[in-house]
């Protein structure tokens, strides 16, 4: 005859105790998850301008650049055209390479 | 006034809707588009699938809830998303014309598309197997199951094969629950001796469940989910076959390929196999009418969000930050994906390619709790964007806690369930450098009646929460 498990699985008083323990574990897990110190990724972004008019620049930031973003590098304003992951993220660090183009300044009449 | 549109009223979408509706529904326009006019509590379908729970117990009508919390409900199917024009097209379920719904923020919480076509002969519609993935199929499964019970009463011996039906399937937990409930039901009916039960799965080892297995501490020693499940299966006389990717099914046999590249078959009478999950096929169109799905979704149709994609498994292993934190599409930042709809950066389980080139890898599961947490997080961030233009919340699956209670018998007196308490869902080897990547003091696995009580309490409280009744915010996802 195939049974439905051992004595302890259905022993009511023991299971009442386990009920409390399991609920405590679940609440502890929920609390841990809530109180967790969030990782803030530090992005090291290497900005490379296609035309070569601006030397490559590395900037530390907490937000990864996206294509279309405009960044001020020295005296030049550049627009990000492509973003590549140069080294996979390790812990809190992530290394990105952003290819950019110079933003043409409006000509004065 | 901001317009927020949510597609899909599953765990993630419905949770987002009740947070948004209650918080900003009066001042802003929140719209829910859903194919069905009810919220379905999927985890209890395993009981519907053996006829031990009535279908109405797992359904909550949506319209009346949304009317109360200022959410506009569109009973229909979304077909196109126009991210440049910020609108979606949806076809109403009453057959009327396609309607246009404008949005400022869009939450894609579509859940999975069940890829029945991925395995020839799989599924209740065009195949030979049963399913508990949706209400209609679960009801149908229970009917077929009852027919087999009758045959067993006449002395016939029946072979039940339960597991997954594709080399890249996920959701082994639901299949495990269904298998264990069949065992329990047969035992209660006095028919267990006339049944052969078999677990057929793509997991690398028994008890992997698509999360890379679970290590937990008990009486000072480390135990594994592999030994735990093996012990249960041995005790209950359930046979198992793992490392197998199902390729084809006919009316008598299930054909598979194993890790070594060998082909074989398993006979069956009744089979319930979970299909592969893929992203729901929405069409993404830009302002020029071009299809831009490649910018928004991956090859499987899941929505790309703020994760790092394309990392090899070994790198992903030590990169908890590669998992998305705010579930925001990087190209269109007003589009968010919640629940199963978002694209995970890779598998949690060890991937495997056979010598024939077949990928046999358990895909990462996203349970109801995980989906609910992501739905809440996305809703809170959209509330932040609407009210103060800032995103304040983030939670990666490498930081997320989850509890999954797998029923192994539905009775509150003689039933049981397995409590799977996992923290974090995705192993985080940097935070927990113990070799398992999880917190040993919280991660736990246990079978017993107490877990069956918790399972029933969760069912009741989740249905209460889904109705958005008084104090619903106090109930965790």
Q: Which of A29-38, A59-68, B184-193 has the lowest mean pLDDT?
A: A29-38
Name the residue of chain B whose CA is nearest to A25's CA. B442
A24 touching chain B per CB within 8 A: no
Q: How far apart are CA B341 and CA B298, in angstroms?
A: 11
- With CB atoms and an 8 Å threshold, state whether A4 touches B414: yes
- With CB atoms and an 8 Å threshold, state whether B399 touches A29: no
DSSP type of residue B332 = S
Under the banding of pLDDT at 50, 70 and 90, the label for residue B27 is very high
Q: In 3D, which of B437, B393, B378, B407 has the Cα closest to residue B13? A: B378
Are the CB atoms for B329 and B435 separated by under 8 Å? no
Instruction: Calculate how close chain B gets to A5, using CA atoms only, in Å.
Output: 7
Interchain CB contacts (distance < 8 Å): A and B: 107
Bridge partner residues of A59 (DSSP): A45
**pLDDT 10s digits, B280-301:** 989 999 999 999 998 899 999 9
Residue B454 lies in a domain: no
Under the banding of pLDDT at 50, 70 and 90, the label for residue A2 is very low
Q: Which two tokens stand for residue B460?
A: 């009741």
Name the residue of chain A whose CA is nearest to B428's CA. A91
Which positions in chain B touch A10 (Cβ < 8 Å)? Answer: 414, 416, 448-449
What is the span of the domain harbouring residue B69? 3-114+278-388
Of A25, A36, A94, the CB nearest to B321: A94
Question: How many whole angstroms from its chain centre is CA A48?
Answer: 23
In this structure, what CATH number is given to the domain that contains residue B312?
3.50.50.100
Name the residue of chain B whose CA is nearest to A16's CA. B450
Instruction: Calculate how close chain A gets to B281, using CA atoms only, in Å.
Output: 26
Q: Which two tokens stand for residue B289?
A: 């009418």
- With CB atoms and an 8 Å threshold, state whether A8 touches B235: no
Question: Into how many domains does chain B fold?
Answer: 1
Are the CB atoms for B33 and B13 separated by under 8 Å? no
pLDDT at A102: 87
Q: Is residue B233 pLDDT above 80, yes or no?
A: yes
Q: How far apart are CA B471 and CA A102, in angstroms?
A: 55
Strands (E), B280-375: 283-284, 335-337
Q: Is residue A1 pLDDT above 50, yes or no?
A: no
Instruction: Calculate how close chain A gets to B73, using CA atoms only, in Å.
Output: 31
Q: How far apart are CA B226 and CA B458, in angstroms?
A: 26
At residue B122, the 3 state secondary structure works out as coil
At residue B101, the 3 state secondary structure works out as strand
Q: Which two tokens stand for residue B190?
A: 């006095």
Instruction: Calculate how close chain A gets to B29, using CA atoms only, in Å.
Output: 29
Q: How far apart are CA A9 and CA B155, in angstroms?
A: 31
> Would you state the torsion angle of the CA atoms of residues B461, B464, B466, B472, taken in this order, to the nearest 10 degrees?
-80
**pLDDT 10s digits, A57-93:** 888 887 778 788 888 888 888 888 888 877 666 556 6
Residue B186 lies in a domain: no
Of A1, A33, A41, the CB nearest to B399: A33
Q: How far apart are CA B252 and CA B232, in angstroms?
A: 28
Q: Which two tokens stand for residue B372?
A: 């609910």
The verdict on ipTM greater than 0.85 is no
pLDDT at B101: 96
**pLDDT 10s digits, B310-352:** 888 888 878 888 899 889 998 898 999 999 999 999 999 999 9
Are the CB atoms for B368 and B11 separated by under 8 Å? yes
- Of A5-14, A77-86, B271-280, which has the strongest mean pLDDT? B271-280
Which positions in chain B touch A66 (Cβ < 8 Å)? Answer: 330-331
Of B187, B321, B454, the CB nearest to A89: B321
Residue B432 lies in a domain: no
Provide the chain A residues 32-61 that lie in CB contact (below 8 A) with chain B.
Answer: 32-33, 36, 38-39, 41
**pLDDT 10s digits, B388-432:** 777 878 888 998 998 888 888 878 888 888 899 999 999 988 888
CA-derived radius of gyration, chain A: 28
Q: In 3D, which of B12, B47, B39 has the Cα closest to residue B132? A: B47
pLDDT at B241: 96
Q: Interhelix angle for B449-466 vs A12-35, to 10°?
A: 50
Q: Is residue B54 pLDDT above 70, yes or no?
A: yes
| Interface with chain A: mutation pick from B373, B392, B448, B452, highest number of A CBs within 10 Å | B448
Q: Which two tokens stand for residue B45?
A: 């379908």
Residue ranges of domains in chain A: 8-36, 42-102
């Amino acid at each position: 005859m195939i049974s439905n498990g051992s004595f302890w699985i259905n022993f009511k008083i023991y299971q009442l105790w386990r009920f409390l323990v399991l609920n405590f574990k679940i609440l502890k897990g929920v609390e841990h998850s809530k109180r967790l110190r969030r990782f803030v990724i530090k992005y090291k972004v290497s900005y490379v301008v296609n035309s070569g008019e601006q030397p490559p620049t590395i900037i530390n930031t907490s937000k990864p650049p996206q294509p279309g973003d405009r960044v001020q590098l020295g005296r030049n304003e550049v627009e990000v055209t492509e973003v590549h992951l140069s080294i996979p993220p390790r812990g809190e660090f992530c290394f990105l390479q952003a290819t950019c183009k110079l933003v043409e300044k409006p000509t004065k009449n | 006034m901001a317009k927020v549109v949510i597609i899909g009223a599953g765990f993630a979408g419905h949770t987002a809707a009740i947070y948004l509706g209650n918080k900003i529904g009066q001042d802003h326009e929140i719209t829910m588009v859903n194919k069905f006019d009810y919220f379905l509590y999927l985890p209890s379908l395993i009981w519907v699938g053996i006829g031990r729970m009535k279908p109405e117990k797992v359904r909550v009508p949506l319209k009346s809830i949304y009317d109360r919390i200022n959410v506009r409900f569109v009973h229909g199917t979304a077909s196109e998303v126009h991210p440049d024009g910020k609108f979606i097209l949806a076809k109403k379920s009453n057959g009327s014309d396609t309607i246009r719904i404008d949005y400022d923020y869009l939450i894609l919480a579509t859940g999975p598309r069940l890829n029945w076509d991925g395995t020839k002969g799989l599924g209740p519609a065009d195949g030979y197997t049963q399913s508990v993935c949706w209400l209609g199929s679960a009801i149908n499964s229970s009917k077929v199951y009852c027919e087999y019970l009758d045959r067993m009463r006449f002395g016939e011996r029946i072979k039940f094969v339960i597991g997954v039906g594709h080399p890249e399937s996920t959701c082994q937990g639901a299949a495990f629950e269904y298998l264990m409930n069949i065992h329990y039901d047969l035992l209660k009916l006095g028919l267990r001796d006339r049944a052969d039960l078999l677990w057929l799965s793509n997991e690398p080892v028994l008890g992997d469940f698509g999360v890379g297995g679970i290590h937990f501490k008990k009486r000072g020693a480390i135990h594994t989910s592999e030994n735990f499940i093996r012990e249960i299966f041995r005790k209950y006389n359930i046979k198992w076959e793992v490392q197998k990717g199902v390729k084809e099914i006919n009316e008598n046999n299930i054909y598979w390929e194993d890790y070594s590249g060998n082909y074989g078959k398993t006979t069956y009478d009744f089979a319930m196999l979970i299909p592969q999950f893929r992203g729901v096929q929405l069409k993404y169109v830009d302002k020029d009418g071009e299809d831009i799905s490649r910018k928004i979704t991956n090859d499987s149709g899941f929505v790309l969000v703020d994760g790092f994609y394309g990392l090899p498994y070994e790198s992903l292993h030590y990169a908890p930050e590669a998992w998305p934190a705010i579930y925001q599409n990087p190209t269109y930042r007003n589009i968010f994906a919640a629940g199963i709809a978002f694209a995970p950066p890779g598998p949690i389980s060890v991937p495997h390619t056979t010598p024939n080139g077949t990928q046999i890898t358990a895909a990462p599961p996203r349970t109801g709790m995980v989906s609910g947490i992501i739905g809440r997080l996305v809703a809170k961030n959209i509330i932040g964007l609407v009210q103060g233009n800032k995103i304040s919340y983030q939670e990666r699956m490498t930081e997320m806690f989850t509890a999954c209670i797998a029923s192994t018998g539905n009775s509150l007196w003689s039933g049981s369930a397995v409590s799977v308490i996992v923290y974090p869902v995705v192993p985080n080897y940097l935070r927990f450098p113990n070799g398992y990547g999880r917190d040993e003091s919280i991660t736990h696995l246990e079978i017993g009646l107490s877990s069956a009580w918790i399972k029933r309490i969760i069912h009741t409280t989740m249905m209460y929460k889904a109705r958005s009744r008084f104090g619903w915010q106090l109930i965790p996802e």
